[in-house]
Structure 1
Amino acid sequence: MKVSHYFEFEEHVTGGVAASVDHQRKMFDRVGIEYTTEPTLDADVIHFNLMGPRSVWYARRARSAGVPVVAHTHVTAEDFGDSFRFTNALARPLKPYLRRAYGLADRLVCPSEYNRDLIEEYADVPTTVISNGVDREKLAGFESFEDEYRGRYDLDLPTVFMVGHVIKRKGLETFVETAHRTPDVDFVWFGPIDRSLKGRETTRLVDEAPANCTFTGFVDDIRGAYAAGDIFCFPTHEENEGIALLEAMAAGKPLVVRDIETFSWLKDGEECLKVGDERDATGEASAADTEARGDNVEGFVDAIDELRDADRRAALGASAAERSEEFSLDAIADRYRSLYADLA
């Protein structure tokens, strides 16, 4: 079996989508799936990771030629907003475009059950859930970087950290405000800032962050982030899955996450601490909370306070590490072979 595994805009796209594609190809190598990274109809299956215009063109040709089409649903309109400059304006027309694009597939691959629920509103196409997975080899030996990275950014234990592109959707405002209210704890966000691509509000939040909140920009070895960080704080408002979260789990770090549907599979109090939206006495979000997108900063402060205790951090991190085993590339790889065999 040969797969055309195409990633449009591969030379430009970074972050979670790029990591997912890298993980997929490593899984192919593990189970002996032959593939080319070029879009070609000389294959048993053609698999698109981003449905850009070139991918749509090839998908139409593939359908005419009887070649099964697989499309990955990394992108949704819900996930697109509050990311980079102009993405909010583009999110509305993106949905009808994706409906047409995803509708060209014979099978859609969704990185999570939550993502599949969203995608059911886009196209009447069979779906298969396959996690993006976590590459444990990429994290190998991360502990040895602790002294270097703590020293580089002057971080004291326990350090609250986040990994990924600095974008508002991922809970930037909550992260910064929690740091404001916890001045005796170090906060650090490891990942590219890309100021030219970000809106005014994002750059303002970074520039006005308190002294105990550091933005590192791009780091040369991501293992240093998981070595220097002690509490993984992920206050994202919208996420299809979250590879950085899976990496933090594999590294045995305790998690503090926003209580959103994406993370419904995590057990609160056992594998993470979840922070819900603020509610008034009737159980409804107040007008002020709605304007702030339901942020419950005090809830994040309380969770960080609970994890000042080293034993609590260790217990929560150990449970997270154990749960992460089901997301290893070895555990997932056969799902692709089964998927392609079902279609070819």
Structure 2
Amino acid sequence: MKVSHYFEFEEHVTGGIAASVDHQRKMLDRVGVEYTTEPTLDADVLHLNVMGPRSVWHARRARQAGVPVVAHTHVTAEDFGDSFRFTNALAKPLKPYLRRAYGLADLLVCPSEYNQDLIRGYADVPTTVVSNGVDREKLAGFESLEAEYRERYDLSPPTVFLVGHVIKRKGLETFVETAHRMPDVDFVWFGHMDRSLKGRETRRLVDEAPKNCTFTGFVDDVRGAYAAGDVFCFPTHEENEGIALLEAMAAGKPVVVRDIETFSWLEDGEDCLKVGGGDDGPGDDVDNDASGVDDGPGDDVDGFVAAIDELRDADRRAELGANAAARSEAFSLDSIAERYRSLYAELA
């Protein structure tokens, strides 16, 4: 069996989608599935990861040639908005486009049950859930970097941290406001911060963050983030799955998340601490940096402060962190890899 495993915009897309594609290819290697990264019809299955215009064209050609098409549903209008400048404006026309694009597939691969529920409203195409997974090998030896990264960013335990692109949808305002409310605790967000792609509100929040809230920008070794951080705080409003969350859990870090449907598989008080989702009201149309999300200062900050206060206790952190690590075992690449060989075999 040979698979054409194509990732449109591969040279430009970073973050969770790029990590997912990397994970998929590692899993294909593990189960011995031959693949090419070129979009070719000289394959038994065409697997598309981002349904851009080229992918849509190749999907149409594949259907005409009788080659089964698998499409990953990394992108939804709900997840796309509130990310970078102008994404709010683009989110509305994106949905009808994705409906047509996803409708060209023979099978849609969804990273979570929440994403699957969303996608059922996009296209009348069979769906299956396959987690993006967590690459434990990428984290190997992270503990050795603790002293280096704590010193580099002047961090003292217990450090509250987050990993990923700095975007408002991920709960930026809640993260910053919680730091304001807890001046004796270090908060740090490890991840890209390209100011030219950010709306005014995002830039303002970063610029006006308190001294105990650090934005590192890109870090050369993401393991350093998991070494220096003690409590993974993820106040995101919308997520298809959350690879950084899985990585934090695999690293044995206690996690605090917003209580949204995406994280329904996590048990509050056992796998994590959850803070109520709340009703955020209308989005910030002026900022053009949101998609109906306005996580204002009163948005569940009390809950995040209380959860982090609970995790000042080292024993409680250790307990939740151990539970998180055990829960993450089901998301290892070894546990998921066989799913791809099976679904390709069913289609080919």
TM-score normalized by structure 2?
A: 0.95
Q: Which residue of the partner structure matches residue 24 of structure 2?
A: 24
In the alignment, the residues of structure 1 paired with residue 202 and residue 39 of structure 2 have an alpha-carbon distance, to the nearest angstrom, of 36
Bigger shift: 157-166 or 288-297?
A: 288-297
SS at match of 1:157: coil
**Could you tell me the percent identity over the aligned residues?**
85
Compared CA separation, residues 67 and 306, structure 1 to 2 (3 A): same
Q: Which residue of the partner structure matches residue 194 of structure 1?
A: 194
Once the 2 structures are TM-superposed, how far is the Cα of residue 295 of structure 1 from its aligned partner?
A: 1.9
Q: Which residue of the partner structure matches residue 337 of structure 1?
A: 341
Compared CA separation, residues 43 and 286, structure 1 to 2 (3 A): closer
In the alignment, the residues of structure 2 paired with residue 295 and residue 7 of structure 1 have an alpha-carbon distance, to the nearest angstrom, of 37
- Structure 1 counterpart of 2:179, which letter? A
Q: Which residue of the partner structure matches residue 301 of structure 1?
A: 305
User: Cα deviations across residues 111-151 of structure 1 (Å, max 9, x unaligned)?
Assistant: 00000000000000000100000000000000000000000
SS at match of 1:189: strand
SS at match of 1:185: coil
Q: Which residue of the partner structure matches residue 310 of structure 1?
A: 314
Contact 2:160 2:231 in 1 (8 A): yes
In the alignment, the residues of structure 2 paired with residue 277 and residue 51 of structure 1 have an alpha-carbon distance, to the nearest angstrom, of 30
User: Cα deviations across residues 267-326 of structure 1 (Å, max 9, x unaligned)?
Assistant: 000000000045xxxxxx596999547821000000000000000000000000000000
In the alignment, the residues of structure 2 paired with residue 81 and residue 286 of structure 1 have an alpha-carbon distance, to the nearest angstrom, of 15
In the alignment, the residues of structure 2 paired with residue 310 and residue 26 of structure 1 have an alpha-carbon distance, to the nearest angstrom, of 35
Q: Which residue of the partner structure matches residue 210 of structure 1?
A: 210
Superposition map of 1:215-230 within 5 A: 215-230=215-230
Stretches of structure 2 lacking an aligned partner (at least 5 in a row): 284-292
SS at match of 1:99: helix
In the alignment, the residues of structure 2 paired with residue 152 and residue 256 of structure 1 have an alpha-carbon distance, to the nearest angstrom, of 25
Compared CA separation, residues 231 and 42, structure 1 to 2 (3 A): same
- Structure 1 counterpart of 2:109, which letter? V
SS at match of 2:318: helix
- Is 1:42 the counterpart of 2:42? The answer is yes
Q: Which residue of the partner structure matches residue 329 of structure 2?
A: 325
In the alignment, the residues of structure 2 paired with residue 190 and residue 258 of structure 1 have an alpha-carbon distance, to the nearest angstrom, of 19
Report how many aligned residue pairs link the two structures. 338
User: Cα deviations across residues 2-26 of structure 1 (Å, max 9, x unaligned)?
Assistant: 0000000000000000000000000
Aligned Cα root-mean-square deviation (Å): 1.4
Contact 2:110 2:127 in 1 (8 A): yes
Q: Which residue of the partner structure matches residue 3 of structure 2?
A: 3
Compared CA separation, residues 287 and 132, structure 1 to 2 (3 A): closer
Higher relative contact order (CA 8 A, sep 6+): 2
Once the 2 structures are TM-superposed, how far is the Cα of residue 254 of structure 1 from its aligned partner?
A: 0.2
Contact 2:280 2:295 in 1 (8 A): no
Superposition map of 1:217-296 within 5 A: 217-278=217-278, 285=279, 292=295, 295-296=299-300
Contact 2:4 2:45 in 1 (8 A): yes
In the alignment, the residues of structure 1 paired with residue 27 and residue 198 of structure 2 have an alpha-carbon distance, to the nearest angstrom, of 33
Stretches of structure 1 lacking an aligned partner (at least 5 in a row): 279-284
Compared CA separation, residues 184 and 45, structure 1 to 2 (3 A): same
Q: Which residue of the partner structure matches residue 118 of structure 2?
A: 118
Contact 2:257 2:273 in 1 (8 A): yes
Superposition map of 1:56-205 within 5 A: 56-205=56-205
In the alignment, the residues of structure 2 paired with residue 223 and residue 287 of structure 1 have an alpha-carbon distance, to the nearest angstrom, of 37
Contact 2:173 2:295 in 1 (8 A): no
- Structure 2 counterpart of 1:331, which letter? S
Contact 2:171 2:295 in 1 (8 A): no
